[in-house]
Amino acid sequence: MRDDGLSPADLEQLRAHGIDRAEAERQLALLREPPPKARLARPCTAGDGIARLGPEEEERLGALFDRAAAAGRVTRMVPASGAASRMFRALARVLDAERPTASRPAPGGATGSEGGRHRAAEQLAPALPALEAAAAGGDAGARAVLEFVAGLDELALRDELAAALAAAGAPGIDDCRRSGDPRPLLATLLRAGGGGLGYADRPKGLIPFHRYGGGDGAREARTPFEEHLVEAAGSIRGRDGRCRLHFTVAPEHEAAFRELLARAVPRLESEAGARFEVGFSHQSPATDTLAVDPEGRPFREDGGALLLRPGGHGSVLVNLDALARGGADLVQLKNIDNVVPDRLRPEVLRWQRALGGMLVELEARAHGLLDRLEAEAAGGGAPDPALLAEAERFCAEAFGRPLPPAPPEARRAAVIDRLDRPLRVCGMVPNRGEPGGGPFWVDGRDGGVSRQIVEKAEIDLDDPGQAAILAAATHFNSVDLACALRDRQGHPYPLAGFADPAAVFIAAKSHQGRPLRALERPGLWNGGMARWNTVFVEVPAATFAPVKTVLDLLRPEHRAAR
């Protein structure tokens, strides 16, 4: 018999997280009977849903954005709560293949000693000859370790790793290469405690990405957190020098971000002539989600408590809403790992200005039309056919949302509703096989189609027609968004009201060895912004340099200039 009930203890646990009974029951219903997948109508392509800008238009829009930034209207928001574990997963799998256990102490001393830790790693993990053989046989993890060791001198993390090896009395980088033994490198890099750097447990925002050489021979390594500060100084600085940034971070890592901020700000402010105002927030426990077991019952921990899991990046919609309520107006939204070194930054800044300028221009036009339409309605006058036609044409041409035929009064109400909502302008790069979402025309439940960013997991790949549309996609979502969050009176929009709550992700997972179905909230730029007015703009691939694995840092765009 299915367990549909939530006990008083369950309800108290949920209340402590800020989750009411109705929300819990809604989540359980979605897990048991998932909503239909998104229905793709066709890909958005250049000229059909994706705008291309010429040089003159790009420069004109950039000037519009510069004025908005100078007026202090722009804030940058960066979701940065993700750990770097995925970056180093391939290396960690090789290192952990034969780790010592409590019943098998490390040779040469107690497992807790520094020398014992390195001797254990040296005996129990595979050496280079074995890795070469495994890589030749198709082992991706072995191939990753070999590529990492060969390219280590090119990585910004090299100097910190070399210092940690020396402090621990372990063989140095060149020693490991000569001996054919990469194990001390991996152990010191990935494991925490005993002098290890613990990179696998650090937030990605605090991993050194880029290295710069000073005129005095000194070398500076910058993390993506610092690169976002530098990038913001080049794009959103107000005329008073202020640059406002907001990072969502995991609670346990906020102190480390603040410590780096305190160290980096004096130097970066001096170099950029800027003043950084940086805020931090955490994902709210109220955005955690329930899971169900294979029988559809609420999944419980061994002690009987409900399992509550983080709700995915869509949970950050709450943080974005709070940022708007705190005064943010126009927001640049960008992933923590999509940063470039100084030599490539001008192209990135150029296109951020263009995206932001288009946002400013479209917002001004929408607000102007709303002023005229609502003034007319408030005065009791009949809709002006010319004004109504102008507004409907703007909705169709700018946002790809033509309105259906209706009597004039209904048309005016519909066009006011269509214009009075949050707005986003999204950079789209030509498709080059990166994982993630893309721009599509999607069939809506109202019978119309709209531009949406859709993830592969949202598509019914068993449907040959849907799979064909996915395969025909020409562009990719780079997560470079310019967002307008306030209405024309300056009030923040209630962002949750413009999300599609049914656009959830449901995935097969496990917990403590037991299978479950997990629910993630609608993605921040997927279902979380489904009812926003949306514009897609083609941007060059040079603006997109994500780092999903440590080997991505060996790509030309991340290597130090020679």
Q: Looking at the domain assignment, is residue 525 inside a domain?
A: yes
Q: Looking at the domain assignment, is residue 418 inside a domain?
A: yes
Q: Using one digit for the tens of pLDDT, what is the confidence trace for 273-282?
A: 999 999 999 9
Of the listed ranges 62-71, 116-125, 415-424, 550-559, the least confidently predicted one is 116-125
Is 338 exposed, middle or buried (CB count within 10 Å of its CB: 0-12, 13-18, 19+)?
Answer: buried
Looking at the predicted structure, is the pLDDT value of residue 300 above 90? yes
User: Mean pLDDT over residues 475-485, rounded?
Assistant: 96
Give the model's confidence band at 133: pLDDT under 50 very low, under 70 low, under 90 confident, else very high: confident
Whether residues 337 and 413 share a domain: the answer is yes
38 or 437, higher pLDDT: 38
Whether residues 422 and 497 share a domain: the answer is yes
Q: Looking at the domain assignment, is residue 210 inside a domain?
A: no
Whether residues 425 and 500 share a domain: the answer is yes
Q: Give the angle subtended at the CA of 127 by the CAs of 121 and 130, to the nearest 5°.
A: 140
| Parallel/antiparallel/unpaired status of strands 438-443 and 196-197 | unpaired
Whether residues 72 and 177 share a domain: the answer is no
- Specify the pLDDT at position 214: 64
Looking at the predicted structure, is the pLDDT value of residue 120 above 70? no
- Specify the pLDDT at position 5: 77
Whether residues 53 and 115 share a domain: the answer is no
Looking at the predicted structure, is the pLDDT value of residue 380 above 90? no
In three-state form (DSSP H/G/I as H, E/B as E, the rest C), the secondary structure along 465-514 is HHHHHHHCCCEEEEEEEEEECECCCCCECCHHHHCCCCCCEEEEEEECCE
- Specify the pLDDT at position 218: 63
Whether residues 400 and 471 share a domain: the answer is yes
Whether residues 65 and 134 share a domain: the answer is no
318 or 107, higher pLDDT: 318
How many CB atoms lie under 10 A from the CB of residue 10? 18
Q: Are 450 and 402 in contact (CB under 8 A)?
A: no
Whether residues 374 and 487 share a domain: the answer is yes
136 or 534, higher pLDDT: 534
Q: Which of 339, 146, 160 is nearest to 232 (CA)?
A: 339
Looking at the predicted structure, is the pLDDT value of residue 345 above 60? yes
Looking at the predicted structure, is the pLDDT value of residue 125 above 70? no
Of the listed ranges 45-49, 213-217, 353-357, the least confidently predicted one is 213-217
Final residue belonging to a domain, choices 201, 221, 240:
201
224 or 168, higher pLDDT: 224
**Is the pTM of the predicted complex or chain greater than 0.85?**
yes
Whether residues 96 and 75 share a domain: the answer is no
- Specify the pLDDT at position 517: 95
Looking at the predicted structure, is the pLDDT value of residue 390 above 80? yes
Q: Looking at the domain assignment, is residue 269 inside a domain?
A: no
Mean pLDDT, rounded, of the chain: 90
* H/E stretch holding 51: strand 49-51
When divided into structural domains, the chain yields a total of 2
Q: Measured between alpha carbons, how far is 76 from 66 in angstroms, rounded to an integer?
A: 14
Q: Using one digit for the tens of pLDDT, what is the confidence trace for 60-104?
A: 999 999 999 999 999 999 999 988 999 999 999 888 874 443 333
Quote the percentage of the chain above a pLDDT of 70: 92
Q: Retrieve residue 524's tokens.
A: 């921040």
Whether residues 439 and 514 share a domain: the answer is yes
Whether residues 492 and 361 share a domain: the answer is yes
Q: Looking at the domain assignment, is residue 462 inside a domain?
A: yes
Q: Looking at the domain assignment, is residue 234 inside a domain?
A: no
Looking at the predicted structure, is the pLDDT value of residue 2 above 90? no
| Parallel/antiparallel/unpaired status of strands 423-430 and 475-484 | antiparallel
Q: Looking at the domain assignment, is residue 217 inside a domain?
A: no
User: Mean pLDDT over residues 406-420, rounded?
Assistant: 96
Q: Are 329 and 484 in contact (CB under 8 A)?
A: yes
Looking at the predicted structure, is the pLDDT value of residue 457 above 70? yes
User: Mean pLDDT over residues 222-234, rounded?
Assistant: 97
- Specify the pLDDT at position 445: 80
- Specify the pLDDT at position 141: 87
Q: Retrieve residue 218's tokens.
A: 């000194």
Give the model's confidence band at 105: pLDDT under 50 very low, under 70 low, under 90 confident, else very high: very low
Domain that holds residue 361: 8-83+310-543
Q: Measured between alpha carbons, how far is 247 from 76 in angstroms, rounded to an integer?
A: 8
- Specify the pLDDT at position 108: 35
* H/E stretch holding 281: strand 275-281
Final residue belonging to a domain, choices 142, 172, 201:
201
- Specify the pLDDT at position 109: 38
Q: Looking at the domain assignment, is residue 330 inside a domain?
A: yes
- Specify the pLDDT at position 561: 58
Whether residues 25 and 164 share a domain: the answer is no
Final residue belonging to a domain, choices 201, 222, 247:
201
- Specify the pLDDT at position 447: 78
Alpha-helical (H) ranges within 114-242 are 114-124, 128-136, 140-151, 158-168, 173-179, 183-190, 224-235
Q: Retrieve residue 322's tokens.
A: 């709070």
Of the listed ranges 173-187, 288-302, 309-323, 400-414, the least confidently predicted one is 173-187
Looking at the predicted structure, is the pLDDT value of residue 46 above 70? yes
